Amino acid sequence: MPVEPAVPAGLTEHQTAAWELAREFAQNEVAPHAREWNAAHRVPVEVFRRLGEIGLLGLTIPEEYGGPGLDATSLALVTEELARADAGTSVAVAVQNGLVASPILRAGNEEQKREWLPRLASGELFGCYALTEPDAGSDTASLRTRAEATGEGWRVTGNKMWITNGGIADVFVIFARTGDPGAKGISAMVSGPGDGLSVGAEIPKLGLHTSSTVELAFDAFPVPRSGLLGAEGEGLKLALATLDGGRITVAAQAVGIARAALELAVSYATDRQAFGGPIARFQGVHFPVAEIAAQIDAARLLTLHAAQLRDAGRPHGAAGAKAKLFASNVAVRAADVCVQTLGGYGYSAEYDAERYYRDAKITEIYEGTSQIQRMVIARDLFGGAAR
């Protein structure tokens, strides 16, 4: 049964419209199929395209490039509602906006924006973000993928790991080393597919079975000069700035999973009969559920606060890190409470509890682990003294 979430003051009419549309679409077109899709490990590309048709896939892409031109707050609200129905589906939208459209908007030139953004907004194209490598996750600056300069551009060689949307992608935002070792030698590029880029098989994983996750192998993959995104050597800066926004979206996803878990726990405990009545009579059921209900509201307000800071053009790196750190932990706990409330049924794949349990964990890992979030927060508090 639906549980009304905490809503911050001052949501605009457009933000509310995006939220309502996402809720309606998610509840009618995603939630009823989520269990089946996940069990079959099916990436529902046709649903992602429909999200493009109604404007939710390229939510933050400006109107001049074919999107509805909404903001980070809207993206958080939409991601949360999609995650409440199916976490994997929400990832596709989060990546398209937060990791693909966002760096193109931030660093791309007019030609690049015109080339990629309208088709990313409509759902004609899907994009992915090729940053992480088998040996460079949290330690991004150590990435090894090399871009050798040629007369017309570069030839990129190296492997990229855990690439979300990689299996369905037509647009690749690539981070590769054009210069010396270290942070300053990395550049960002944007390209379509081509010879020299092979997409690996889907990587088996604990959850998010409706989301594509692959390894990409670049072997002398040619990228012309026109594919350079921003200035040469500025790639890592762009990557980290992009992740500042991405964290807020992951926090929103965590809130969505947590809300779904809470709602299932409440409806199950209300219906389930034991010892002569519903188990919702027992304090042993009340306390954990009440606790996560309070934490979910807190997580949601933290997340939307960070989004509102971003929309106001104010620093939001630490706020986003706090939101992600807290919300991802709430998601993991809420899923645990949900499974425990449902008991044996919670452990069975007949109910969604076990899916929430598996899907929640990734929010503590990707786009910066909880440990990295603590570092970001600490650096904000201690400044140079933290290093």
Partner 1 sequence: MKIAVCVKEVPDAGPGRRMDPGTMRLDRSGERSLNSYDLNAVEEALRLKEAAGEGEVVLVSMGQEKALESIRKALAMGADRAVLISDEGAAGSDLVATSYVLAKALEREAPQLVLFGQSAQDSDGAVLWASVAERLKLPMVSQISELEVAGGQITAKRQTEFGYDRIQSPLPAVLAVADSLNEPRYPSLKGIMGAKKKPQDVVKLADLGVEADRAGQAGSRTTVSALNPPPSRGDTVKIEDDGTGAQKIMAFLVERKFA
Name the minimum Å distance from CB 41 to partner 1. Answer: 27
Shortest CB 149 distance to partner 1, Å? 42
Give the burial class of 307: count Cβ atoms within 10 A of its Cβ; 0-12 exposed, 13-18 middle, 19 or more buried. buried
Distance, in Å, from the CA atom of 149 to the CA atom of 156, rounded to the nearest integer, reads 9
Residue 18 in contact with partner 1, rule: CB under 8 A: yes
Please give the Cα distance from 156 to 159 (Å, whole number): 10
Q: CB within 8 A of 239, min separation 6: which ones?
A: 103, 131, 140, 175, 186, 188
Minimum CB–partner distance for residue 120 and partner 1 (Å): 15
Q: Does the footprint of partner 1 cover residue 88 (CB under 8 A)?
A: no
Smallest gap from Cβ 20 to partner 1, in A, equals 8
Supply 178's token pair.
Answer: 């054009």
Total residues interacting with partner 1, rule: CB under 8 A: 15
- CA–CA separation, 123 and 46 (whole Å): 9
- Least separation in angstroms between residue 55's CB and partner 1 is 3
Nearer to partner 1, 75 or 360 (CB): 75
The amino acid present at 119, given as its one-letter code, is R
- 205 three-state secondary structure: coil
Q: Which of 3, 6, 7, 21 binds partner 1 (CB under 8 A)?
A: 21
Q: Which is nearer to partner 1, 96 or 328 (CB)?
A: 96
Q: How far apart are CA 68 and CA 58, in angstroms?
A: 7
Is 24 designated active site?
no
Q: What is the DSSP string of 66-85?
A: TS----HHHHHHHHHHHHHH
Shortest distance in whole angstroms from residue 22 CB to partner 1: 9
E-state strands within the chain: 127-130, 146-149, 153-164, 171-177, 186-191, 197-199, 213-224, 228-229
Q: Is 184 exposed, middle or buried (0-12, 13-18, 19+ CB in 10 A)?
A: middle
Among 6, 7, 11, 14, binds partner 1 (CB under 8 A): 14
Spell out, one character per residue from 46 to 85, where the chain touches partner 1: x when CB under 8 A holds, - when not.
----x--xxxx--x---x----x-x---------------
Applying CB under 8 A, does 256 fall inside the site for partner 1?
no
Q: Which is nearer to partner 1, 93 or 325 (CB)?
A: 93
Which residues are tagged catalytic? Answer: 367
Binding region for partner 1 (CB under 8 A):
14, 17-18, 21, 24-25, 50, 53-56, 59, 63, 68, 70
